[in-house]
């Protein structure tokens, strides 16, 4: 059976990248870090949500979204392919960090620049293109500990995890 692919700007990518639910490729790793009570910000569909997380998404038709979380703090925040959609990613990320208990975890899964379709000038839903070094630098400057960043995976995405 041949590998199904898509083309964008003369680049070939696995077809699965065009079908949503990027979280499914990182959830097994996220579950190793995301323990206790936490949020999945930007999950889009309930069946795509991190198991046992509290879902925060516009699709829920409530007052909560990436820049308006419930009162209090949680043990972790997990977010897959969401930060590139917010108006001001720095403000959103700092806000998320303020909602995590000391010693808690921030787990981000983000699209990489290597996938040309995900660049903001090609995909108008994306307002930013983020790279691991930029996220790492911000987290370091904001006092995060134990920061881990991955390379690019087969979903043309990367992961950054840190302790608050």
* CATH number (domain holding residue 109): 3.40.50.150
What CA–CA distance (Å, rounded) separates 145 from 103?
9
Instruction: Name the E strands within the chain.
Output: 5-8, 11-14, 38-41, 54-56, 74-80, 100-111, 145-149, 157-163
Residue 3 belongs to a domain: no
Q: Quick one: pLDDT band at residue 61, thresholds 50, 70, 90? A: low
Residue 133 lies in a domain: yes
pLDDT, tens digit, for every residue of 109-157? 999 999 999 999 999 999 999 999 999 999 999 999 999 999 999 999 9
What's the whole-model pTM score?
0.94
Burial class (CB in 10 A: 0-12, 13-18, 19+), 132: middle
CA 146 to chain centre: 18
Residue 107, Cβ neighbours under 10 Å: how many? 24
CA pair distance 82, 41, nearest whole angstrom: 7
Q: Is residue 151 part of a domain?
A: yes
In a domain, 5, yes or no: no
Residue 41 belongs to some domain of the structure = yes
Q: How many domains does the chain have?
A: 1
**Has residue 13 been placed in a domain?**
no
Structure tokens at 46: 């309930």
Residue numbers of the domain that contains 74? 21-163
130 lies in some domain:
yes
Judge whether 9 lies within some domain: no
């Amino acid at each position: 059976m041949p590998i199904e692919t898509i083309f964008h700007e003369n680049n070939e990518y696995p077809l699965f990248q065009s079908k949503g639910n990027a979280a499914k490729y990182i959830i097994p790793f996220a579950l190793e870090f995301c323990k206790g009570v936490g949020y999945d910000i930007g999950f889009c569909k309930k069946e795509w949500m991190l198991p046992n997380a509290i879902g925060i998404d516009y699709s829920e038709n409530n007052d909560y979204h990436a820049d308006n979380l419930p009162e209090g703090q949680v043990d972790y925040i997990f977010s897959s392919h969401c930060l590139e959609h917010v108006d001001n990613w720095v403000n959103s990320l700092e806000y998320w960090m303020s909602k995590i208990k000391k010693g808690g975890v921030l787990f981000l899964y983000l699209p990489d620049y290597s996938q040309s379709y995900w660049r903001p000038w090609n995909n108008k839903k994306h307002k930013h293109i983020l790279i691991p070094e930029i996220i790492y630098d911000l987290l370091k400057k904001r006092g995060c500990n134990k920061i881990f960043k991955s390379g690019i995976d087969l979903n043309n995405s990367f992961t950054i995890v840190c302790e608050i």
